[in-house]
Amino acid sequence: MCGIVGYVGRTTAVQPLLKGLKKLEYRGYDSAGIAVVEPHLQVYKTQGRIADLEALFTKGVPQGTLGIGHTRWATHGQPSWENAHPHCDCSEEIAVVHNGIIENYLELRKELEAEGHVFRSETDTEVVSHLVEKYYEGDLGCAVQAAIAQLIGSYALAVVSSRHPNELIAVRQDSPLVIGVGEEEYILASDVPALLDFTRTAWVLDDGQVARITRESVVVFDQHGEQQKPQTIRINWDPVQAEKEGYAHFMLKEIHEQPRAIRQTLAGRLGVRGNLQLAEEIPADLLHGITDVHLIACGTAYHAALYGAYLLQDSTDLQVHAELASEYRYKRVRVDDRTLAIAISQSGETADTLGAIRKAKAAGARILAITNVVGSTLAREADAVMYTHAGPEIAVASTKAYTAQLCCLGLLAAYVQLHLRGAYDPELLRQLLEIPDQMASILQACEERVKEYAGQRLAAASDTFYLGRGLDLASAMEGQLKLKEIAYVHAEALPAGELKHGTLALIEPGVPIVALATQPHLLDKLLSNLREVKARNGEVFLIAMDGERDYSQTADEVLLVPPTHPMLAPLLTALPMQLMAYYAATARGHDVDKPRNLAKSVTVE
């Protein structure tokens, strides 16, 4: 995710801004910039690292004591100088930095361009600077409030103007902002680490609040203009803890970020009434006349591909295949101009996946990329791109990027169904909007219970089996991979119906079994398979969705996830399995964020 820093105080703003941005580098970024008021607005930006931004000041530093800074993780537009923040209005008197996504930016941009505003970037953020310009009548805070009244989406904003050399306006809506309190100086940031070199006292903005920050004071208003008292916190974290927001590891932090990540994935794509908005990303020509779909990926992304294939097979008459990219490259496959190849990769740089899509493209296939990284090789080489918007994922084992991929594939399946059949399942999309809140409830309700089970049972196991049927099988495969990746415990996933065809020979007293039971039409079959396990004294931890069933004869322990559309269940069951792997690994004393022999982005064959 992007990082925001703002400064107003006694000293020149450049050094506090650069120092704050460096503290946010762990979040990941592709460009950086600052704006300083001295007395005119001066903007410095670069594609690349903060070191490149620092190099712009080797011949002198502006002396202005008011400024804003930003590290950008691209979501709209390629990583470039033009798309880097801050963004200015037409007169270059107002500068804005932004975290989040403005869902209605295209509509707003068209309106502003019709009114004569000239845009310089491809970003959603730039509409904010032009809206503030449009509504400015001498009071910067009032102009910002008028501007945000037009916005739909999630955002944290910092705004400065050369007409107000001692005033910084900050806004929070679904994206965090904190204000560090110093001696005649204030520093604004999107995350605590940027404050630690300046102060340990901070004020936290709540959703809908607007702060008017000067050297002398901070005044906070709600969306109605009523003055509010900000919440004060005392920061006791050390710098490393602060980067992890108090979590012991980045992986645990990223598990807990999933409700927010899914909201970001849905933003601008699914309206509050369940209406799909994907035409800008996926042109109709890409789908017209297709007969075959190949979903191509590796590792965790391959399990997402299995999920996508199941959804597309269920909702269309297309021939759909999930393919391991490392195998696809070298086997004989039927591909022509009626084939849609969907390549899935968190980084967009996975060598096997790139090799596979190049093979498919050479044979005439159309390429759709699902990736987390704007400007990645996969994004550049594809015919269309669906970004997951999950934000940077630092831990090697994928968590939030995986569930964001599932979310994208759910939206995509509905969009393909709409294109081919003229209709889609509205209930699936309606319930998809509820997934972030349900994820949050799972994390709150089950973490301690899963921690105890994983620490006592999975951490001590030498072999573990994950069972599922239908769509639950793809989820089971991802669950066992997580356990292997970070806990180094041998695990195997298989269709529950296959137990009796060989693997049942390995079930003996005390062997842990993690089973998934979320598909109503297969529930009785799954429970029957589990009775075979229990007859051999296997130990079953069941993740189920139907709270009305009696599981006492088939499971030693039952964890219920909130009821949802069966096709969406994998987004919920992923969380307890991620926690199982995490707590098994920590109980065994492993480096969770950097497991042995593995890399985050596999850029070699």
Nearest to 203 by CA among 188, 224, 216, 223: 188
Looking only at the bridges linking them, the beta strands covering 512-517 and 539-544 are parallel
CA distances from 389 to 266, 309, 434 (A): 9, 21, 18
Q: Which residues contact 255 (CB under 8 A, 6 or more apart)?
A: 399, 400, 443, 575, 578, 579, 582
Q: Residue 123: what residue type?
A: T
Residues making up the chain, counted from first to last: 605
Residue corresponding to tokens 């793809």: 474
Whether 110 is a known active-site residue: answer no
CA distances from 249 to 73, 395, 440, 442 (A): 21, 8, 19, 19
Determine contact, residues 302/324, Cβ cutoff 8 Å: yes
Determine contact, residues 412/388, Cβ cutoff 8 Å: no
Q: What tokens appear for 552 in the block?
A: 């006492």
Nearest to 244 by CA among 254, 236, 234, 235: 254
Strands of the 231-234 sheet, one edge to the other: 40-47, 31-38, 66-72, 3-8, 186-189, 178-181, 201-204, 231-234
Q: What tokens appear for 487 in the block?
A: 């806990």
Choose the catalytic residue: 134, 484, 534, 600: 600
Residue corresponding to tokens 């601008």: 268
Whether 90 is a known active-site residue: answer no
Chain-centroid distance of CA 403 in Å reads 8
CB burial string 156-185: b at 16+ within 10 A, e below: bbbbbbbebbebbbbbbbbbbbbbbbbeeb
Beta strand extents in 138-290 (DSSP E only): 153-161, 164-173, 178-181, 186-189, 201-204, 210-213, 218-221, 227-228, 231-234
Q: What tokens appear for 101 in the block?
A: 């996504």
Q: Is 58 exposed, middle or buried (0-12, 13-18, 19+ CB in 10 A)?
A: exposed
If residue 230 lies in a helix (H) or strand (E), which one and from where to where?
A: none
Catalytically active residues are 2, 600
